Copies of this chain bind each other. A is one copy, B any other.
Amino acid sequence: MLRVYNKAILPAGFKASGIACGIKKSGKLDLALFYSQAACVAAVMSTTNKIQAASVIVNAGYLKAAKDFHAIIANSGNANAFCGQAGIRDAQEMSRLAAKILDVKKESVLVASTGIIGRRLAIEKIEAAVPELSAGLSNHGISKAKKAIMTTDKFAKDATVKFDLHGKTVTVCAVAKGAGMIAPDMATMLVFIFTDAVISGAVLAHALKIAVANSFNNITVDGCMSTNDTVICLANQVAANSPIKAGKSFALFLEALNIICVDLAKKIVRDGEGATKFIRIEVCGTKTPAEAKKIALSIANSNLFKTAMFASSSNVKGRIVAAAGAAGVGIKEQELKIGFSPLEKKEVKINVCVGKGKSGVVIYTSDLTHRYIKINAKYN
């Protein structure tokens, strides 16, 4: 029996904190710390962009070097990407500063950044803020931490699932940062997942891969792939359940993780930059799931489709046809069936059946609006 909560409730042993260290000129929260005194196993999925932010590169090194993890330090307002070796040193310094005050080794503090690409991180601001950030660590500090990772997000995104396993309560809790530059086939934003489950790193990584494929890799806001996107899952083993390995306990844990990830993925789409509509596109009748995904993404990323959705235009059908045909999958006009729910609603379901086979996919996306232009023209 899974209990789902529409807010972050940190699992036993986790604390968090968020402050404004001055990276954002607005003075808003921009530095977050997540911490567990008990050592965690970690699973990480990162962007498949060939240009990777310093945090992505540094985390990959830490994951090879360490087995025990204690914290994540994350900033918003600056992506620390395309800053060369200096950027790598800054990212390492971020984790070193947090590690020092937490009295753990540098490699046990994972790091994440989001914001503008190509500018040096103001590491001195982070250095000055780390003592207060660390002092603020608490169970309810998650409410500030989840805001400190936001950029153009209109609302913080979080969710929690609890379930009982071997007489113990296991909690899975996550916070996410989304909004723009969201496209599939990678971990597509910042997502930090915390669980007190007793589980090995290998089993955790396996579960995370499945959950991400079912959620964050099936959403797109603007088809743009970021240099920084990262999903980190930390499991601190304090729930005292028998280790989750396979069978029923794994199925239950995976279900919890799936619920969390799908919930956050949908929240990211709902908060897509400038979005006025939440659009569910189901493609069915393809020979393979990959073909269905190609067609669904060709529609979801078509600017002509997205602007027609914004306008609730009946012309949308023609734009679905053109986008479906442009996907590079062999489909025929006479076998193509398109349906949609009323276009003027805030939530619209699109069904596209191509009559070639039995595979399918569901993708979530948003419309393309004046506000998207406004947000992304001004973001600086």
Contact = CB atoms under 8 A, between A and B. Distances in A.
Interface string A336-350: 100000000000000
Interface in A286-327: 301-304, 307-308, 310-311, 313-315, 317-319, 321-327
Nearest to A57: B333
A79 interface: yes
A288 to B, nearest CB: 16
A223 B84 CA distance: 31
Nearest to A371: B373
Contacts of A329: 50
A119 B252 CA distance: 50
A225 B327 CA distance: 9
A308 B377 CA distance: 5
* Chain A interface, >50% SS class: loop
* 3 cross-chain pairs, A with B, having the tightest CB-CB distances, nearest first: A117-B318, A51-B325, A311-B377
A368 B274 CA distance: 14
A104 interface: no
Given A318-B82, A325-B227, A336-B51, A180 B377 contact: no
B324 A117 contact: no
Contact of A331 (B50, B368, B372): B50
Contact of A304 (B180, B310, B321): B180
Given A118-B317, A222-B303, A49 B325 contact: yes
Contacts of A327: 50
Given A82-B333, A377-B313, A224 B302 contact: yes
A50 B330 contact: yes
Interface of A: 49-52, 79, 81-82, 84, 116-119, 180-181, 183, 222-227, 301-304, 307-308, 310-311, 313-315, 317-319, 321-334, 336, 368-370, 372-374, 376-380
Contact of A116 (B318, B332, B334, B377): B318
B319 A117 contact: yes
The copy count of this chain in the complex is 2
A58 to B, nearest CB: 14
Nearest to A324: B51
Contacts of A302: 223-224
Nearest to A377: B311
B377 A307 contact: yes
Given A50-B325, A81-B321, A119-B318, 13 more contacts: A50-B332, A82-B321, A84-B333, A116-B315, A117-B315, A117-B317, A117-B319, A117-B321, A180-B304, A223-B303, A307-B377, A308-B377, A311-B380
Contacts of A368: 303, 373
Contacts of A333: 51-52, 82, 84
Nearest to A369: B373
Contacts of A377: 307-308, 310-311, 313
A331 to B, nearest CB: 5
Given A331-B50, A373-B369, A322 B379 contact: no
B49 A315 contact: no
A117 B227 CA distance: 37
Given A308-B377, A334-B84, A322 B49 contact: yes
Contacts of A373: 307, 310, 368-370, 372-373
